[in-house]
């Protein structure tokens, strides 16, 4: 059997560059693995990475994304402090759920500076279900910091 590579491999991980880019894009777009599978099906493209490889790639990419997020937010706070001329900042917070009412499972919350050029100081996604709790019911995992009532309700961050 002859293997034909469709894209170059990243030297440290031997993961394909296209797969890493696809995982980053899916996470930034908020569609994750299931959304990618639907999108690829609609486009009549061969299916993406299976769930195990997707999770492994996310675990590899996530620390870099989190570090970039922290650096970006820290820079935004410093710029907002410079604009305001001190450490006292006026901020505005907002949260939104995917659907109206109490039926939505996903949402997002953001804190922004209230200066002339607003800066996003922090952002957090919210879910009423903890994926770790749902996926690990056999070992009775429960993230007590985030879950109320056995993984059904998350308190907004």
3-state secondary structure 12-70: CCCCEHHHHHHHHHHHHHCCHHHHHHHHHHHCCCCCCCCHHHHHHHHHHHHHHHHHHHH
Question: Do 44 and 112 lie in a common domain?
Answer: no
Question: Do 155 and 98 lie in a common domain?
Answer: yes
The set of long-range contacts for 88-91, using a CB threshold of 8 Å and a minimum separation of 24, is: 89/113, 89/114, 89/115, 89/121, 90/114, 90/115, 91/121
Domain containing 143: what range? 90-157
Question: Do 95 and 78 lie in a common domain?
Answer: no
* Whether pLDDT at 150 is above 80: no
Task: Specify the higher pLDDT residue, 100 or 65.
Answer: 65
Task: Look at residues 88, 110, 126 and tell me which one is the last residue of a structural domain.
Answer: 88
Contact (CB, 8 A) for 53 and 43: no
Average pLDDT, the chain: 77
Q: Is 28 exposed, middle or buried (0-12, 13-18, 19+ CB in 10 A)?
A: exposed
Question: Do 71 and 120 lie in a common domain?
Answer: no
Report residue 71's pLDDT band, with 50, 70 and 90 as the boundaries.
Answer: very high
Question: Do 2 and 69 lie in a common domain?
Answer: yes
Write out pLDDT tens, residues 75-118: 988 888 888 888 888 888 988 887 776 677 778 888 988 878 88
* Whether pLDDT at 16 is above 50: yes
Question: Do 55 and 65 lie in a common domain?
Answer: yes
* Whether pLDDT at 129 is above 60: yes
Task: Look at residues 61, 88, 115 and tell me which one is the last residue of a structural domain.
Answer: 88
């Amino acid at each position: 059997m002859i293997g034909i590579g469709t894209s170059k491999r990243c030297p440290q991980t031997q993961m394909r560059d296209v797969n890493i880019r696809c995982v980053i894009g899916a996470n930034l777009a908020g569609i994750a693995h299931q959304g990618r599978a639907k999108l690829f099906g609609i486009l009549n493209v061969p299916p993406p990475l299976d769930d195990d490889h997707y999770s492994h790639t996310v675990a590899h990419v996530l620390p870099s994304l989190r570090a970039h997020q922290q650096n970006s937010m820290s820079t935004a706070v410093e710029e907002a402090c410079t604009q305001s001329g001190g450490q006292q900042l006026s901020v505005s917070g907002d949260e939104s759920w995917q659907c109206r009412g109490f039926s939505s499972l996903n949402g997002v919350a953001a804190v922004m500076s209230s200066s002339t050029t607003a800066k996003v100081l922090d952002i957090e996604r919210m879910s009423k279900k903890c994926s770790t709790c749902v996926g690990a019911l056999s070992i009775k995992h429960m993230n007590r910091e985030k879950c109320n009532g056995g993984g059904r309700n998350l308190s907004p961050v």
